[in-house]
Chain A
Amino acid sequence: MIEVGANLPEKVFYLDRDLLKRYADASGDQNPIHQNEEFAVSVGLPNVIAHGMLTMALVGKYVSDFAGGSAKVVEFGARFTKPVIVPAGEKVDLTVTATVSEIADGKISLTLSATSAGVKVLGMAKAVVLQ
């Protein structure tokens, strides 16, 4: 029985340059800031950064798993507050947790938290799933 205020189990995803390339191909977003370190630095970034939408897609996987499948996710939103920095040869974490914020009309609302290297990378992250 899920109750309002319940904290859902934490899940850790790992991102590396290979995943960024695969997500670029899967999403069609080939912006070089997500693949080319020299380019990323040239536009003022600390290093290659993950696509905000990759971060969101992984948090979406967390939501789908909780809901019992992608088909049950009816709302999902987030603000991209800080980039997930992905240095060459490293695997960086994306740590996701959630709290049940509302249960009403057959729907469960979640308030989501996503951090990487201890830094909050999504703000105002919320999802609504069918119960």
Chain B
Amino acid sequence: MLNPDSVGSTFAGTDSITVSQSEVDSFCAAIGESDTTIAPPTFTIRITLTQFEEILTRPEIGLDWSRLVHGDQKFEIFAPVKPGDELKCNATIESYRVAAGNEIVTVRSDLHRDNKLVVSAWSTLVVRA
């Protein structure tokens, strides 16, 4: 179970993540996007979900990642992400509830480049009972 005290808190992720051309290339190839100079709109899930897993499974937070399904997802993109970008990611646990034994947690992650917010992404994650 998620520690309820963590709701409302913001957690820092890995110090800095560099977006490589090869990872943008392979993401673009999978969806048939020919322009590899810009990351496709959902590309940053590659960064944020990895960061969520690292953060949310910390012992003091306690989410069970093994029974997780993705409920919904939203991106707000303030500036396009490009290969070579160095991004910092943090995650805020915005809401948490338990319904029929399922844990439903909404996490917002903010990606910054040069201290400017470039993407906010909301993920609603459901840990099945």
B71 and A57 form a contact (CB under 8 A): no
Interface string of B64-80 (1 = CB under 8 A from A): 00000111111111101
| Interface flag for A8 (CB, 8 Å) | no
In this complex, the interface size class of chain B, counting residues with CB under 8 Å from chain A, is 20 to 34
A111: shortest Cβ distance to chain B, in Å?
14
Q: In the complex the two chains form, what is the Cα distance from A126 to B48 in whole Å?
A: 20
Interface string of A4-46 (1 = CB under 8 A from B): 0000000001000001001101111100000000000000000
Interface size on A, residues (CB 8 A): 32
B3: shortest Cβ distance to chain A, in Å?
24
Known: A25-B26, A28-B50, A61-B33. A70 touches B71 (CB 8 A): no
A64 and B46 form a contact (CB under 8 A): no
| Chain B stretch 96-129: residues in CB contact (< 8 A) with chain A | 122
A69 and B38 form a contact (CB under 8 A): yes
B72 and A80 form a contact (CB under 8 A): yes
Q: In the complex the two chains form, what is the Cα distance from A74 to B79 in whole Å?
A: 8
Interface string of B33-51 (1 = CB under 8 A from A): 1010011111001100110
A70 and B80 form a contact (CB under 8 A): yes
Chain A residue at smallest Cβ distance from B124 = A79
Residues of A within 8 A of B26 (CB): 22, 25-26
Question: Contact residues of B with A, CB < 8 Å?
Answer: 23, 26-27, 29-33, 35, 38-42, 45-46, 49-50, 69-78, 80, 122
5 new A-B contacts at CB < 8 Å, known A54-B31, A71-B38:
A27-B46, A60-B40, A61-B32, A70-B39, A77-B122
For this complex, 19 residue pairs linking A to B, each with C-beta atoms less than 8 Å apart, are A23-B30, A26-B23, A26-B27, A26-B29, A26-B46, A27-B27, A27-B30, A53-B49, A61-B31, A61-B33, A64-B40, A69-B38, A70-B41, A71-B38, A73-B41, A74-B78, A77-B74, A80-B72, A124-B72
| Chain A stretch 42-63: residues in CB contact (< 8 A) with chain B | 52-54, 56-58, 60-61, 63
Q: In the complex the two chains form, what is the Cα distance from A74 to B75 in whole Å?
A: 8
A-B pairs, top 5 by smallest CB distance, nearest first, are A77-B74, A79-B72, A71-B80, A73-B41, A26-B26
Chain A residue at smallest Cβ distance from B40 = A70
